[in-house]
Amino acid sequence: MNHKHKKRFGQNFLHDNNVINKIVSSITPKEGEELIEIGPGQGAITMPLLTKAKKLTAVEIDTSLIEPLQQKAADIGELKIVQADALTVNLAELATSEDKLRIFGNLPYNISTPLIFHFLKFRHHIADMHFMLQKEVVDRIAAPPGNKTYGRLSVMTQYYCKAEHLFDIGRNSFYPPPKVESSFVRLIPFAREHKANDEELFANIVLHAFNQRRKTIRNSLSRLLTAEQIESCNISPTARPETLSVEEFIRLANFSSK
């Protein structure tokens, strides 16, 4: 496929067959599953997955890629391409059956975090997600409390999903090579979620805490909770936000919602 990459779409096309095989093995697609690819690009992952699944839906914003992808897929399986911006697409409407969706793709690194937050809105329709992302983003997603990369993205993703950093991917596996290292991550929405009484309040507390992450939570949450109220949740007011677990943030939110 002769295609000039478009910087505005954050396009870096995967071409390393060893990496492609590891991705396919990690996803383990089966025929009949509801597979949805975000940003198929030139089809490096699309075609081997389509070979196994026989049917696949792809969301692609770049209209110039659609016809070449359909031509490549013609003798492999049924490829449905939805021309849309993944930041606005309604994933629930892409399902063709009652089965939960399996989402995967090489996400544009410049909008990967907003994309993940968008996809989490549809978590009740999703079985799992597999994404190539900037390594720094995957490190943040999967970081445990106390880790220097643990932050708002870690807490909010881990509130909804089990996050697993699967493997790293070198720059030369892509064309053009990105300026950053990449990683592959698996996100599995919890069947029984952590439950904050007010999820909007929970998200707001997490946001406030990490907006001033160098401060103690007594200071960063001073507009929402007093030191005494924080202490009543069995949390030290002098703790820094990166040391608090998801469950501790839930306790703070649930106290605030009383």
Q: Which pLDDT belongs to residue 11?
A: 53
* Cα atoms in the Cβ-side hemisphere of radius 13 Å centred on 88: 5
Mean pLDDT along residues 110-138: 95
Structure confidence by residue, pLDDT tens digits, 165-185: 999 999 999 888 888 899 999
Q: Which pLDDT belongs to residue 12?
A: 72
Residue 169's contacts (CB-CB under 8 Å, 6 or more residues apart) are 16, 19, 132, 181, 182, 183, 184
Instruction: Judge whether residue 132 has pLDDT over 90.
Output: yes
For residue 133, what are the β-bridge partners?
183
215/25 Cα distance (integer angstroms): 43
Instruction: Judge whether residue 47 has pLDDT over 70.
Output: yes
3-state secondary structure of 79: strand
Query: Which pair of structure tokens corresponds to residue 136?
Result: 């720094």
Q: Give backbone dihedrals phi and psi of 31, rounded to 5 degrees, phi first.
A: -60, 135
Domain annotation for the chain: domains and CATH numbers: 7-189 (3.40.50.150), 199-256 (1.10.8.100)
Query: Which pair of structure tokens corresponds to residue 20?
Result: 């492609």
The string over 34-60, giving b where at least 16 C-beta atoms fall within 10 Å of a residue's C-beta and e elsewhere, is: bbbbbbbbbbbbbbbbbebbbbbbbbb
Element (H, E) at 67: helix 63-73
Q: Give backbone dihedrals phi and psi of 162, rounded to 5 degrees, phi first.
A: -85, 125
Instruction: Judge whether residue 8 has pLDDT over 50.
Output: no
